[in-house]
Chain A
């Protein structure tokens, strides 16, 4: 499993009216690999992940998951194909507890011959399994606080990341996972991302925080004006090269 090609995007092109948001973008991620996608605002990073996660539809280009061509035309299909995305706004339900958040939209319930919405929830099973997920990913959650809305920014981010990683997903895409977090909370989320990698998940991280990219990413691609303009190993020696690729200093 380690190192197997999980996600391949080839020639991804997306146009919004006159704006060419993605111009023949190609990338790939392997199991147990963290790929950083870098670029300035408007470089096309968000459009790229929205296309991979089914929010937008590609005009042309292909997406393959585990070597199989995938027609990802809505978020549910992407999830079904094992592609989970954590957006910056996290899409958490502040009024529900962490277990309910983990299982939202895929509750464990019986009987299986009924449509999911009509089924009876297995609440103890879900609580048990969410405790297992939390334990496995070593997330630190408060015991007594019921709703996610009462938790700190880092805990909320951790829940969103854990939710994306909880269900044998193949690819986890993280949009600016540390942007809103303090030092210590960032640390926890970065550790969590490294744990996902250890579990063999292919991770794509969009980030502006070069220190975090240096630390967790195995590879980094740089986007500018909808195109991939470079790929580097994110080592301290390459840092300046990456930054100049991002800002386009070598044009």
Chain B
């Protein structure tokens, strides 16, 4: 019955549709078009203005970094020498690697407070394994595995412990990892690292430019892998999706829990990579490595221009932020600025960066409203 019914209806319906549609079309535009015509000029200029400010805000961190470099190059004769730039790169390398891991976590609206402690644990585990085996391969594997293990603890604890936010679980592992590092090492630094690790952490690229530290190449390698993951691999797209709308991701069948666990494991593993740089540079594993460097990593991501609210951010943001922290520290050391002032300056920069992110969010919704009015 219904099969024969519905074609009839479909013949009948367009008639009613046309008759309803026509008056709607005839009456609607005059009422809606007039106000937009009146405001056309101001809203178009406003739109362009808001658009320009937005573009500037998005470029902001890179601009500030360039300004900082130019400023310091003029203030200090030492700053823009290859030797010192190499220093900046070495000092920024571990933070940059931690920041890339932190970026992955922050993209999913999370936070990983444990990376500094994980770095320390990983360095101690590496030193112990090297003392036992005397060979590079098991040492490096153990360092990465220690990092991945703490990361897994974070991820599974957060997701399957059904915690409302990763803050507490990573705070717990911050304490646990530091405690393990102190216990395993007896509270003392353990010296001795494999040649390969020392080459990565302390060596430089004698074959191209001796002032470029090898650690910078490691950072570049990690950055390229992270860029490929985030931009080319489906999993990376899902990391953004989970950060953009956790509920939307669930409804569209994106494996939200697995994505969340994975970013903490990656962050932990990258803390292991950062440990390779730090222990290679100092030829030791120590339970005191990486103190407060989780805060540097978080600050780097935010200063660099990624959104602390998740979903927005690139690897370049983490790198720019890490460089910015490195440059500020290095520059202020060169200018003999006291340590307390450095802390205050870094703090102010973090505040400005977060405020910029908030303003950017507001301008974007403003932009949307203006855009809708202009169309």
Contact = CB atoms under 8 A, between A and B. Distances in A.
A5 interface: yes
B2 A5 contact: yes
Contacts of A236: 16, 20
B24 A107 contact: no
B243 A214 contact: no
A109 B371 CA distance: 34
A80 to B, nearest CB: 9
A93 B372 contact: no
Interface stretch (A15-23, A61-69, A131-139, A180-188): A180-188
B251 A215 contact: no
Nearest to B375: A152
A235 interface: yes
B244 A93 contact: yes
Contacts of A75: 250-253
A142 interface: yes
B240 A93 contact: yes
B364 A93 contact: no
A11 interface: no
B254 interface: yes
Contacts of A153: 372
Contacts, number: 138
Interface string A139-154: 0001001000111111
B21 A215 contact: yes
A11 B302 CA distance: 54
B208 interface: no
B248 interface: yes
B371 A233 contact: no
A96 B32 contact: no
B233 interface: yes
Interface string A220-242: 00000000000001011000000
A216 B20 CA distance: 10
Nearest to B21: A215
A41 interface: no
A120 B10 contact: no
B248 A150 contact: no
Contacts of B245: 91-94
A72 to B, nearest CB: 13
B167 interface: no
A116 B237 CA distance: 11
A30 B2 contact: yes
B6 interface: yes
Contacts of B287: none
Contact of A96 (B9, B25, B28, B241): B241
Contacts of A211: 20, 24
Contacts of A90: 248
Contacts of B371: 142, 145, 150-152
B344 interface: no
Interface string B359-375: 00000100110011001
B232 interface: yes
Contact of B252 (A55, A105, A109, A216): A105
Interface string A2-46: 111100000000000000000000001010110000000000000
A152 B368 contact: yes
A218 interface: yes
Contacts of B238: 105, 117
Nearest to A55: B251
Nearest to B235: A117
A150 B374 CA distance: 14
A93 B253 contact: no
Nearest to B107: A95
A145 B371 CA distance: 10
B234 interface: yes
Contacts of B244: 93-96
A119 B234 contact: yes
Nearest to A31: B6
Nearest to B307: A95
A95 B2 contact: no
A219 B10 CA distance: 10
Chain B CB within 10 A, most for which of A95, A184, A187? A95
A183 B248 contact: no
A170 interface: no
Contact of A120 (B233, B240, B243): B233
Given A218-B13, A236-B20, 16 more contacts: A2-B7, A5-B3, A85-B251, A94-B244, A95-B240, A100-B237, A105-B252, A107-B234, A118-B233, A118-B234, A120-B232, A121-B237, A145-B371, A151-B368, A215-B24, A218-B10
19 contacts: A5-B2, A55-B251, A79-B253, A87-B251, A91-B252, A100-B240, A104-B249, A116-B234, A117-B233, A117-B258, A120-B233, A121-B237, A152-B372, A182-B32, A183-B31, A187-B24, A187-B28, A235-B16, A236-B16
Closest 4 CB pairs of A and B: A91-B248, A93-B244, A95-B311, A152-B372
